[in-house]
Amino acid sequence: MEYPPDYGPLAAVTPGTPGGLMVMLAEFGTMSLKEVLQPNIEMAKGYPIEKQLADSIERRKDMIKEWPYSKKILLPHLGEEREAPYPGEVFRQPDLLNTLEKLVEAEQRALAEGKSRQEAIYAAYDRFYKGDIAREFVRGCKEQGGLITMEDLANWKLHIEEPVMTTYRGIEVYKLTCWVQGPVMLQALNMLENLDLKVIGYNSARYIHTLYQVMNLAYADRDFYYGDPYFPPEEPIKGLLSKEYAKERLKLINWKKNDPNTKPGDPYPFEGKENPYLHLLEKWSNVGSENPESMSARGWSVFEESFIAGTTSIQAADEKGWVVSVTPSGGWIPACIAGKTGIGMSQRAQSFVLDEAKNPFNVVAPGKRPRATLTPGIAIKDGKPFLSFAVQGGDTQDQNLLQLFLNMVEFGMNVQEACEAPNIVSYQMQSSFGKHVASPGRLRLNETVPPWVRKNLEAMGYDLDYRKYTSGPINAIYFDWEHGTFWGGSSNYGEDYGISW
């Protein structure tokens, strides 16, 4: 294979979301697992399914039919014209319900034996990764051609990591490190801090060109240098986030036209080292990686829609000062369900590469995390939370979040205005999915961009297309310390909203 497969059991990596959530609850929470899972249990018993998800199942039903456990749960009207649930129909997941109840049962048994709240949650954790839930997950995975073993699940470990950070105009912006694409936004901010964006002008042709070029420089580094930091070789993250490195990268921008052959830089000198991969850098290029079939308008539309709809973005904060930003994703539709667990297996292995010439840090290996796109963020100003923010949307996530942040910090928008504001989207970087194709010079604009801006961008060598909505669904919380209040923002794209109580 040129790349790992897009879907199915061979695309699966070990499930991390259950363990991540249980460790978060055990180490930093106050409630029991039973209390936290109660709404999930109620929904697994049956809830009126939302239109977006129901229609996504119907569109991908031919693939879903290839996997017996997925077909049984996701296609309740098998053989009829519409085989997926109807929007608003009560959707039931009995196998997932059984799994959730087993977790609660393990916790409650441990509590009855005198274990602490934390120990009881870890009893449920062990049942998932080492007990009967794990056995059924592995059995169902292997039956359908997957590779996950009991040892894989038992050896899976959550890492409580320090985030990476940069400052922008005195604001500290925190992201997960390079096993996801989060540092891309920090690299872009480091470059943009050297420019006067207010003078350039919001969404002018020059502003759009500036953002596009800066994002491409940062994403080119992502495509070559990002990977799981627990596996050699060691990523040059210190150099990548160097302010001086950002200034050198900024010098490469052609201010008059697009550069379709943006390449990764050399961050190693900025952390006092020599680059061991210069021989690979010399040959590296996105130009010529286009796949004409996948570049069709219809192909891109379906592809992008599946990733915008597949991720969950949740921002939460409380009166005690806790702030949580999460973007769990992996088992999106069309999901291959692992046996009778009701769990859709992750499909993130497709983000690995198999050829080190493409990215020597992200070559598939046992026990390794693929370099994923998931990128929650938190910003801090004057030592206090300023913004909690995330978005759905695959490779476009840090493009959207960069613009959200600039909308607020540079152009004075409130959080709801910033979430709804028109974005630009570049597809010049390598996709993290499928055949990892790139589309140099392709620029998506919002329909509201005026004709004279479009004309100037076309003259600069851009291949333009337009959409009514030009981001995934963005969600954010702004912290108003002057009044002691929270401001919530959700974009008007998708089925996202804010709630408070």
Higher pLDDT, 306 or 182: 182
Q: List C-alpha distances in Å: 223 to 292, 361, 474.
A: 21, 9, 24
Residue 20 has pLDDT above 60, yes or no: yes
* 485-490/474-480 β-pairing: antiparallel
Q: Reply yes or no on whether the pLDDT at 62 is more than 60.
A: yes
What's the confidence (pLDDT) of residue 291? 53
Which whole number is the average pLDDT over 329-345?
94
Query: Percentage of residues in the chain with pLDDT exceeding 70?
Result: 95
Distance, in Å, from the CA atom of 322 to the CA atom of 326, rounded to the nearest integer, reads 13
CA of residue 298 relative to chain centroid, distance = 23
SS3 88: coil
Using the predicted structure, report yes or no on whether residue 327 has a pLDDT greater than 80: yes
- In whole numbers, what is the pLDDT of the chain averaged over residues? 94
Residue 494 is predicted with a pLDDT of 73
- Domains (range + CATH), the chain: 164-490 (3.60.20.40)
Give the up-direction half-sphere exposure of residue 291: CA atoms within 13 A in the CB hemisphere: 11
- Interval 170-176 mean pLDDT: 98
Angle at CA of residue 230, ends 311 and 247, nearest 5°: 75
Which residues are 476's β-sheet partners?
Answer: 389, 489
pTM of the entire predicted model: 0.95
SS3 for 219-272 is HHHHHHHCCCCCCCCCCCHHHHCCHHHHHHHHCCCCCCCCCCCCCCCCCHHHHC
376-408: pLDDT as tens digits:
999 999 999 999 999 988 899 999 999 999 999
Write out pLDDT tens, residues 280-302: 999 998 876 665 444 444 444 54
Range scoring the smallest mean pLDDT among 192-196, 301-305, 433-437, 447-451: 301-305
341-379 pLDDT, tens digit each: 999 999 999 999 999 999 999 999 999 999 999 999 999
**In the predicted structure, residue 207 carries a pLDDT above the cut 80:** yes
pLDDT of residue 498: 82
Quote the pLDDT of residue 305.
Answer: 57
- 220-268 pLDDT, tens digit each: 999 999 999 999 999 999 999 999 999 999 999 999 999 999 999 999 9
The length of the chain, given as a count of residues: 501
Q: Quick one: pLDDT at residue 293?
A: 46
